[in-house]
Structure 1
Amino acid sequence: MKVFRKKVRSINVKGMLFFCVVDERKHDVVFRVYSGKFRSSYVEILFDWKDTYWINLYKPSVRAKLIEYIIDKGWKPDNDKQISRILDSNKLIEELSLKEI
């Protein structure tokens, strides 16, 4: 039986500190990135369990690529209360080629 849990990891991307939380829920996996400056600024990406079979959200290279992508899409981690959600993780996996990392 799988134990569902949350794991928090820190990572530096583009000279900024981020905290990544992988929340393994019953029906999905939530990848949440918090700004190192403000805990009220975060981005949440929802993955299906079947999608996470092919990618490892705990790998630093995968986390860094996801963070670079969301910063390039306009998330400003230096600002307070910047909240964003990405629901279409299939498109994101294909666009960033996360299966090959």
Structure 2
Amino acid sequence: MPEITRDEVAHLADLARIDLSEEELDHLAPQLTVILESVASISAVASEEIPPTSHAIPLTNVFRDDVVVPGLTPEEALSGAPATEEQRFSVPRILGDEQ
């Protein structure tokens, strides 16, 4: 499996909007390579005969019946909001125009 390059780590960090220092980029590249190699080794051992599972024993989730109940009006839902606009919550913008 090819190694993860420092530039690839920088690109991933940029996509995730994570600010990494030069030292962190150098430190993370080999670690990500090891993680991907570990996942690949587990995938190589996986057998078609064994179904994928998330738990060692079967689990059953208990669901309640859906019951229709009256909801809030837009005015009631927005009554405690500090700022609203056209029946919506108004919040400050957190992302720039770069994407």
Same fold per superposition (TM over 0.5): no
TM-score category of the 2 structures, normalised to the smaller one = under 0.3
- TM-score, with normalisation over the residues of structure 2? 0.22
Q: Max radius of gyration: which structure?
A: 2
Bigger helix fraction:
2
More relative contact order, 1 or 2 (CA 8 Å, 6+ apart): 1
- TM-score, with normalisation over the residues of structure 1? 0.21
Bigger strand fraction:
1
